[in-house]
Structure 1
Amino acid sequence: MKIILTGASGLLGHAFAQAAKRRKHEVIGIVGSYAVPIAGLSQQKAIDLNDLAVLERFVLEQFPDAIVNCAAMSIPALCESDPSASERINVLVPEKLALLSRHLFARFIHISTDQVFDGASVPYFIGDPPNPSSIYSMHKAESEKRALDMASEFASIIRIPILNGNSPRGNRSLHEQLIAAWSRGEKAHLFTDEYRQPCLSDNLADAMVELCERNDLQGLLHWAGADPLSRFEIGQQILDHFGLSPDLISKSNRGNHPEHSRRQENLTLDLQPLAGRLKTRPQPFSEQLESLIVPKQFRVWYNSI
């Protein structure tokens, strides 16, 4: 199978490229300015996703069997500061890719977010109405609608939680960001009243490859780890895994931070029907931790403590 992959240099894109290669698929990765070769890709192409005409020409030239969209402007604060840029990447790009998938009769896998929900009533089922509270989540909810409007018979939209994993740059995943803060001498203040379902990028990538290979699981879908945990509990387990001091984190509460008032309390997802129909299984957080390593740029600091 020939697969076009956007966002190939990101945490999830990198994991997907390797998972697809293990299954003997040909993956053509689209990146922005990232020039380092990415493992798992048969071809790496630099394209500015703001130029939809160039993107369209390249996809049509390749004539893929599947299109996987991992590209996103995923930092909510950046989306708030530049809504137009967020709309271009988070809405217009997946809309264009969905249209191309319909034209090519290709599978389309698009990544959305658990943040389309408001966090007030869990667990969230795939049929529950979104209630986004930020520019990022509003644009992701809109991308779901447009992708399904364009290519409902080809599209699988996967809502996902925060991701663990080892990113190419060593700065994208949850544990990498915590380690970066700790290396700067910063204590992490983690919420005890904000619950998430962290997922390993490699595990999600395996599920996505299965979806590329199947034609019976279209529409909205959920995927996440097996355990809902508070941000503080996640931090504790990461510290334990790396043998670091518990003093590197402290308990915090969303109510004490007005700037975080819109952060959802609990985004636990119901994982059916996907969890019951794939060979890949949702992982407990303890199992995810086994895959995590200290990024190269922080190993001198880590070995010195």
Structure 2
Amino acid sequence: MKTLVLGSTGLLGQEMAREVRRRGHLLREAARCGATIALDIADDGALDAVLAAEAPDLVVNCAALTDIETCERDPLSAWRTNARPLAALALWSRRTGGRLIHISTDQYYSGGGAVAHDEKAPVSFFNEYARSKFAGEAFALTAANTLVLRTSIVGIRGWERPTFAEWAIDVAANDRPATVFSDAYTSSIDVIAFARAALDMVDARATGLFNLAAKEVYTKEDFVREIARQLGTPLTAATAGSVRTLDTRRADSLGLDVRRAETLLGNALPGLAQVVASVLRQYNETNRHELPDIASHRHA
């Protein structure tokens, strides 16, 4: 199977590419920079040209504009990256019969606390990021061979600015002062478990909309404290804060009900402790011994 990973240099794209390679697929990688194929998916003509030249059997779309503040300041860029390219990808799928995996988001729910939302739960839009990602879902699902996965992922990127997980490890390992959100609920899954499960779902011929995330709902504070517990380090300098203090409004009840995915896969998805253990293993494997001192920055 020839698989084209879009956004292959990002946090999830890197792991999806590794998992594709592990499975023996013919891998092609595309991203704005650092990949074999230079591609900005906001460029309609360039995207069409890559699809025509590569003729993949499967496209995995990990490319996105994920910075919520940037999306809020520049809704057009959010639309051009998170929504419009999915119309072209769906058209490609309908014309060729090629399969498409589109990675979506969990940023649609608020006010429910630790509720796990299933795929039929009503959605709300609190910012331009959520609006553009939902539009991308709608475009993608016009093709019968599309699998849309709502998720939240954590992991080690190893370049650019630190990810939330890299920041959290730095805070926990060094007992740094930090604000951790006690009212931001999530079902974030580690990128390794996500990539494996996503491609297993492709092998199972899954199509349509699925939640693919951790099986537990927990807070961002819980995540940091679990890192400290597994590292055996104190966490005395961190204080609980509220996601509502951020400038751009964000959804805060992002738990996902993953029972449909678990039934399809035939196995349980990881819980918080397993997610953290995987992230720590990934961190150790990168041989990163020091992270930038960014603990004063409040992460969503």
In structure 2, the partner of 1:57 is 49
Partner of 1:8: 8
1:105 maps to what in 2?
A: 97
Q: SS at 1:157's partner residue? A: strand
Does 2:39 align with 1:47? yes
Kindly indicate whether the alpha-carbon contact (under 8 Å) linking 1:14 and 1:168 is maintained by their aligned counterparts in 2: no
> Counterpart in 1 of 2:290?
299
- 1:155 is aligned to 2:146: yes
Q: Give RMSD over aligned pairs.
A: 2.5
Count of equivalent residues? 288
What is the match of residue 40 of structure 1?
Answer: none
How far 1:207 sits from its partner (Å)? 1.4
Deviation at 1:194, TM superposition (A): 1.8
What per-residue deviation string (whole Å, max 9, x for no partner) do you get for residues 107-127 of structure 1? Answer: 110011111233437321112
State which of 222, 225, 237 in structure 1 corresponds to 2:214.
225
| Stretches of 4+ aligned residues off by more than 4 angstroms | 179-186, 294-298
Residues 285 and 53 of structure 1: is their aligned pair in 2 closer, same or farther, counting only changes over 3 Å? same
Give the TM-score normalised by structure 1. Answer: 0.85
Match of 1:134 in 2: 127
**Equivalent residue for 1:78, pick from 70, 75, 80:** 70
1:204 is aligned to 2:187: no
Contact kept in structure 2, 1:188 and 1:248, CA below 8 Å = yes
| Counterparts of 2:107 and 2:157, CA distance in 1 | 22
Q: Distance in 2 between matches of 1:300 and 1:137?
A: 30
Equivalents in 2 of 1:300, 1:174: separation in Å? 12
* SS of the residue 1:290 aligns to: helix
Matched letter for residue 50 of structure 2: F
Give 1:198's aligned amino acid: S
Question: What CA deviation, in whole Å up to 9, does each residue of 1:211-250 have, x standing for no partner?
Answer: 33232x2111101112211121111112233344312421
Separation in 2, partners of 1:147, 1:301? 38
Give, in whole Å, the separation in 1 of the partners of 2:246 and 2:14.
35
* Change in CA separation of 1:206 and 1:141 when aligned onto 2, cut-off 3 Å: same
- TM normalised by structure 2 equals 0.87
Which of 250, 254, 257 pairs up with 1:270?
257
Contact 1:222 1:271 in 2 (8 A): yes
Displacement of 1:23 after TM fit? Answer: 1.3
Q: 1:168 to 1:99 in 2, by over 3 A?
A: farther
Kindly tell me: are residues 45 and 168 of structure 1, through their superposed partners in 2, closer, same or farther at Cα, counting changes over 3 Å?
farther
Q: Secondary structure at the match of 2:116?
A: coil
Distance apart, 1:63 and its partner CA: 1.1
- CA 1:11/1:275 → structure 2, altered by over 3 Å: closer, same or farther? same
Instruction: Describe the shift of the 1:214–1:62 C-alpha distance in structure 2 as closer, same or farther (beyond 3 A).
Output: farther
| Displacement after TM superposition at 1:65 (Å) | 0.8
- State how far apart, in whole Å, the 1-side matches of 2:97 and 2:8 are: 22
For residues 112-261 of structure 1, the aligned pairs below 5 Å read 112-120=104-112, 122-149=115-142, 151=143, 153-161=144-152, 163-169=153-159, 171-179=161-169, 187-215=177-205, 217-254=206-243, 257=245, 259=247
Stretches of structure 2 that go unaligned for 5 or more consecutive residues are 294-300
1:68 and 1:110 in contact (8 A); partners too: yes
Q: From the superposition, tell whether residues 173 and 241 of structure 1 become closer, same or farther in structure 2 (CA, over 3 Å).
A: farther
The verdict on how the C-alpha distance between 1:279 and 1:170 changes in structure 2, with shifts beyond 3 A counting, is farther
Aligned to 1:38: none
- 1:19-41 per-residue CA deviation (whole Å, 9 max, x = no partner) reads 11221111111011226xxxxxx
Rate the CA distance shift 1:72–1:184 in 2: closer, same or farther, 3 A. farther
Q: Residues 44-69 of structure 1, C-alpha deviation per residue, up to 9 Å, x if partnerless? A: 21112222111111111211111110
State the distance in 1 between where 2:246 and 2:25 align.
47
Identity %: 26
Kindly indicate whether the alpha-carbon contact (under 8 Å) linking 1:91 and 1:140 is maintained by their aligned counterparts in 2.
Answer: yes
